[in-house]
Amino acid sequence: MTESLRPAALCIALVAIGLATPGSSFGDPGGLLPAMDHERPVQCARDKDGKVWRIQCNEATKVCLYAANEELDSTGERGKSLERARSCDIQDEFDRAKLEATGYRMFPGRVDAPFGWMRDERGRVFQVNFDLRKRLYFGVAYTPQKILDNPLESTRTSVDFGLFSFQHLVEGETPTRHRLRILEGVVHVEPFSAEVTVAHYDVSRRFLDPLLRITTFVGRPQRHDLKLNLGLWSEVGGLEIHPTPVGHSTLWKHATAQITLDLWQSKNLDSFARFRTGMGLEGQYSDDIGYRSALTAASALEVDMVLDDEGFHNLRFELAHEMPRYFTPLQNHQNFAQRLRAKLQYEAIVLAINDQPLTLKLAAGGEKRDDIFGVPDQWAFVMDAGLRFSLWAPPRAR
């Protein structure tokens, strides 16, 4: 028994509706029956047995597609009603002979599905487009860590989570995208380390009017617009915990606010490349030194891209520099410290369980910092490979 509707069952259905068995094949290259167009009207008609069929005719091609108005089981029998199907008025006087007399040909097809969904030949619907910017997710990863001076550093596992990610696009002349993330982070074991952010909010905007208009008068006067798509980036409640030779160093990033400059934006602002810079207030606690506060200048180059229309492939890159200025000097009698971080992450959907995506995450990164006493001031590199499970992830906006 196969998942798809058997041709024999389809022929039985055709006889029942009074339609001729199609004399020629008409399908898409993937082997599926053609789907009705979700943007064009559909009508419903009842056959001699009282069963309802959905029919969509195309005046240009003189082709009509028809499909059962219910989901079919594996034997072709009608079962439950269609999900995510448009309502249609049932016409009892559907005149197939008249249609065919005017040159229309009838072919079996699939009932249309909303954008982001598709329907199989049995009428069952499932999601094929996912917005990973709107989700609750959690995952587990294997993190072989390699530090330059100790290539045999222990391997680690980690969990990452984001309890609420949401984005909202306000369309218009100056489209604006708001991004909100609540309680997002990663926790490693062996050795223990963690990074968590309680709340993140940023906003991107595409301005209609240029910030600067430069007119050149060499030769024919010409106008050059310089658009600065500025935005805001903020985080509160950041926490980083790192192992040290004498215990752990805990870094509290109380609040950070930055100005963003989008170097590139996709049409709906869900992908971008941007530069951001700003200030933050933080405090660091370690068992041997105690607590000390700092004002931190932070800058970053960020790329966040959805690589395909269906949202299956997602890429993120971040190159960040932070320079905390401590109110009490460090062990080296300096008030300043340096933190450099680079991270590249690729996330791809590998399957969906009940329309909820399971993704593969691959990440690589490096870090160099001198703010944690006892940790070598040199680049340390790390790689991640793991799976994430996401809830919600509705279809992306068209």
Partner 1 sequence: MGTATRALAIAAAAIVVLAASPALAESCTGITQGGGRFATCFDLGNRLSVTAGTLGFGGGFALRHIVRFDDAPDLAWKLEHVMLEASYAGFEDRFTGVLYRGRFLRHSRDGHLVLPFGNPPRKIFLPFDIGALAEVGSISWRPDSNVRLGLVKTAALLDFARSRGFRRRFALGPVARWDVDVPRDRLAIAQHIVAPFSALLANLRFETANGVTAGELRVEAGSVYRSGVGWQPEALAEATLERIVLAVNDRPISLVLGVRYDSAAAETTAGIGARIVLVGRRDPRVSLATLAAARSF
Smaller CB distance to partner 1: residue 60 or 353?
353
| Rounded distance between C-alpha atoms, residue 71 and residue 372, angstroms | 62
Q: How far is the CB of 200 from partner 1 (least distance, A)?
A: 15
Q: How far is the CB of 118 from partner 1 (least distance, A)?
A: 7
Q: How far is the CB of 37 from partner 1 (least distance, A)?
A: 17
Q: What is the CA radius of gyration of the chain?
A: 29
| Rounded distance between C-alpha atoms, residue 247 and residue 286, angstroms | 8
Smaller CB distance to partner 1: residue 300 or 349?
349
Q: How far is the CB of 350 from partner 1 (least distance, A)?
A: 7
Give the footprint of partner 1 on this chain (CB under 8 A). 3, 29-32, 80-81, 83-85, 114, 118, 120, 124-128, 136, 138, 140, 157-159, 161, 163, 183, 185, 187, 189-192, 194, 196, 241, 248, 250, 287, 312, 349-356, 389, 391
Smaller CB distance to partner 1: residue 313 or 321?
313
Smaller CB distance to partner 1: residue 248 or 292?
248
Smaller CB distance to partner 1: residue 193 or 296?
193
Cβ contacts of 398 within 8 Å, gap of 6 or more: 115
Is residue 302 within 8 Å of residue 317, measured between CB atoms?
Answer: yes
Smaller CB distance to partner 1: residue 61 or 354?
354
Q: How far is the CB of 40 from partner 1 (least distance, A)?
A: 18
Pairing mode of beta strands 155-170, 135-147:
antiparallel
Burial of 367 (0-12, 13-18, 19+ CB in 10 A): middle
Smaller CB distance to partner 1: residue 99 or 358?
358
CA-to-CA dists, residue 339 to 234, 320, 345, 348, angstroms: 19, 8, 20, 29
| H/E stretch holding 105 | strand 105-108
Smaller CB distance to partner 1: residue 297 or 348?
348
Q: How far is the CB of 54 from partner 1 (least distance, A)?
A: 15
Residues facing 224 on adjacent strands: 214
* Length, in residues, of the chain: 398
Q: How far is the CB of 161 from partner 1 (least distance, A)?
A: 5
- Two structure tokens written together for 246: 């004498």
Q: How far is the CB of 365 from partner 1 (least distance, A)?
A: 19
Is residue 341 within 8 Å of residue 320, measured between CB atoms?
Answer: yes
Task: Calculate the CA 244 to chain-centre distance.
Answer: 36
Q: Within the chain, where are the H helices?
A: 7-17, 96-101
